[in-house]
Every structure is written in structure tokens, then in C-alpha cells.
Amino acid sequence: MKTLLLIALLSLSLLGDEYTAKVKILDSIFSQTSIKQDLTFWSDNKMILSQLQNNHNVTNDCNKATFLIIENKRHVPKRCLEKQVYIFVLDYKLLSKIPQSFGALFWKKARANIVILKPRIKSQNITISDNLKSYLEDQIW
């Protein structure tokens, strides 16, 4: 029983570290864009939302958000995807499924990967720092 409890606690702590890492990477990406207005974040991933609230305005209502971070499209009300908001996704496949999204952060082979789509940031009037230019792609692979 003690072993099972130890494994469960270890798993939870590792899960928390994963979300902390994601939020740190997301923070770094957002800080290197021209998006500087007062942002209110919403995410369908409650762990990420709770981590974001340490340094950002967050909301539990996607209708009140100006920036959506989406992990699973099925968890996002359709009306929120129809709003004029910034969208960043946490699954590469969502770049195709959510055409308003301008970039993605996802894990592949145990490494973080970032993709920012050049045509989408251009259409949304977003500029990025030189540090992010290596993540630019002209199209979805």
C-alpha cells in the first residue's frame, strides 16, 4: 500500500512539473510577441490555467478571454472559437483543425517542439522577436 501511495505521489509531482514546464515555455513565447494588450487567458486544461494565474489574468469563462490555449478542441465551446481572440494550441494536429491558431507547443520524442505559422501571425498582425524566428513555418507539415 505504501508503495502504491509513493508511486501515485511521484506521478502527481511529475505531472505538475510537466505543466510548470509548459507554462514557462508558453510565457517565454508570449513575452516575445507583439501581443502586449491586457490579456485574459483561458485554457481547456485546468492545470495550465492554474499555473498561468500566478503571473497572468485568467478566467474560467472562455467568452471573457482574449487568449485561448487549447489542448483538445472538443472541450472548447464553439462560440469561443468564433470570437476574435488569439489562439495557441498544445497539439500539432489542432493547427489544421483550428485555423485561427497561430502556433503550437507539443511534445515529440520527449522534447518540446514549437511551431509558429508565418501566414497566420502576419494576418493577425503579430510580430515576433528574433529568438522565435527559428520556429517559423510557412505551412503546416
Query: What confidence tens digit (pLDDT) does each residue in 60-72 have?
Result: 999 999 999 999 9
As beta bridge partners, residue 7 has none
Residue 100 within a domain: yes
Q: What is the mean pLDDT of residues 43-71?
A: 93
Residue 13 within a domain: no
pLDDT at 42 over 50: yes
Q: What was the pLDDT predicted at 88?
A: 97
Residue 80 within a domain: yes
Q: What is the mean pLDDT of residues 82-106?
A: 95
pLDDT at 105 over 80: yes
Domain range for 86: 37-137
Residue 21 within a domain: no
Cell numbers linked to 95: 493547427
Q: What is the mean pLDDT of residues 56-62?
A: 94
Residue 22 within a domain: no
Contact yes or no for 24/48 (Cβ under 8 A): no
Residue 127 within a domain: yes
Other Cβ atoms closer than 10 A to 86: 21
- How many domains is the chain built from? 1
Residue 23 within a domain: no
Instruction: Report the C-alpha gap between 81 and 70 in whole angstroms.
Output: 10
Average pLDDT over all residues of the chain: 86
Residue 4 within a domain: no
